[in-house]
Structure 1
Amino acid sequence: MKILRSSSEAEMILCFLKAEYTSPRFAEDLHAAMAKCHAEPSLILSGDPENAEENALRAEVMGQFRGYGRDEELFRNFPVGEASWVYAELEAEDLRKIRYIDYSYWNEISNGTSCPLDAVENIRADRRIFEVPHDRFLAGEQFLREGGKFPPIVLLWSEKGPYVIVEGHLRMTSYALAPEYFPGTFCYLGTCSQEALKRWNVNYD
């Protein structure tokens, strides 16, 4: 991994929301959260992570959307305010170091390893976890092979173990299906204590 510059939790939140703004799975919920917070699309699509007022509203949207700052949903036990953040470029060898979040679907599809590379066999064999089809992963793979570029992913680690995906599970699975397109991927990487990371992601080792 090549560290390109320092970042911030506020910039991570902006990246997270941008990536999910058009997500087939999450966009509807995000747009509903924005409406409840009276947030305009420009808050995300052309947001400024140096603007404190914008950052406060984006944090509110993230709380409504995924439980950030409320100790709920994805962000239950998340080390809010405890991690230091950087913007980085990932290298080929980093792919094996990345792990899914501790969640039943991702545990099953990776045969218990949480490694996206280990999900490939099940996807290629069309072994469906909880009857969920693999179309979205295969579409992501095709997108990469046709020259498409994914937005940055969000990762968290403790300097003593693998990188855990905070945002970008589908994209990382698509990279596992087409690993030759992974080098040069950008990410926002948060570093926190091992204890803090294990509170959020129980299976972190």
Structure 2
Amino acid sequence: MEYLRESSENEMIALFLQTEIRSERYRDEIMRVISDLGAHGSIILEPDLDSCEENSLRKKVLARFRGYGEDREIFEGFPADVRWVWANMTVSELEKVKYIDYDYWVELSGGSRLAKDAAARIRNGVEIFGVSNEGFLAGAKAFAGGSTFPPMILVSDHEEIIVLEGHFRLTVYMLEPDSIRDMLKVMIGFASKEKLMKWSLY
């Protein structure tokens, strides 16, 4: 792993929301939360990390949307003090990144929680809970054709690395690993194993 620079909680929140607001699955819900807070979508689409007001609003959005800082949903048990950094990772390093401990991703990977194993099962036509794999295959085709995706957000206890945001993208990358040229830029948060083990999805 190649360290690039320090990041911050504010930048992580902005990246998380920027990525998910572009998803058809989450867009409307996020926009409703923004509206309820009397804010505008630009705080996510064009974030100003130097604005204390915007940073506070984005944190409230992620709290209402995903339970961040409120010890619920995907952030249940998630540590409060995380060191966020930007880094580059090689394909071999990405192959060791685990999915969260969530039924769909555990089953898709055959129990290993590794995206490379999920990719092999997808190629073999294995579908989980009746959910089509067409999205993964279309994403892999687009990636092989030169499309780019936002950086994933990962967390680590300095031993294991787990996806916080970016499960679809990690799966796509493992379907087309040869299309990763050299290294991939990611945001990664570091916390002690003792603290990270309290995360419900660790």
Task: Tell me the alpha carbon deviations over residues 155-198 of structure 1, each in whole angstroms, 9 at most, x when there is no partner.
Answer: 00011x22100000000000010012334321111000101111
TM-align CA RMSD? 1.3
Aligned counterparts, 1:82-121, within 5 A:
82-121=81-120
Secondary structure at the residue paired with 1:176? helix
State the secondary structure of the residue aligned to 1:166: strand
Following superposition of structure 1 onto structure 2, how do residues 1-205 of structure 1 map, counting pairs within 5 Å?
1-80=1-80, 82-159=81-158, 161-182=159-180, 183-201=182-200, 204=202
Once the two structures are superposed, what CA deviation does each residue of 1:22-65 show, in whole Å capped at 9, x if it has no partner? Answer: 11222222222222222211101110223211111000000111
Q: What TM-score do the two structures reach when normalised by structure 1?
A: 0.93
Cα distance in 2, alignment partners of residues 154 and 181 from structure 1? 20
Q: Name stretches of at least 5 consecutive residues in structure 2 with no aligned partner.
A: none
The whole-number CA distance in structure 2 between the counterparts of 1:152 and 1:170 is 12
**Could you tell me how far apart the structure 1 residues matched to 2:124 and 2:24 are?**
24
The question of whether the paired residues in 2 share the 8 Å contact of 1:101 and 1:201 is answered with: no
Question: Structure 1 regions of 5+ residues with no counterpart?
Answer: none
> Is the CA contact 2:16–2:165 (under 8 Å) kept in the aligned structure 1?
yes
Cα distance in 2 between the residues matched to 1:26 and 1:147 = 25
Is 1:110–1:116's contact at 8 Å kept on the other side of the alignment? yes
Q: Percent identity?
A: 39
How many residues align? The count is 201
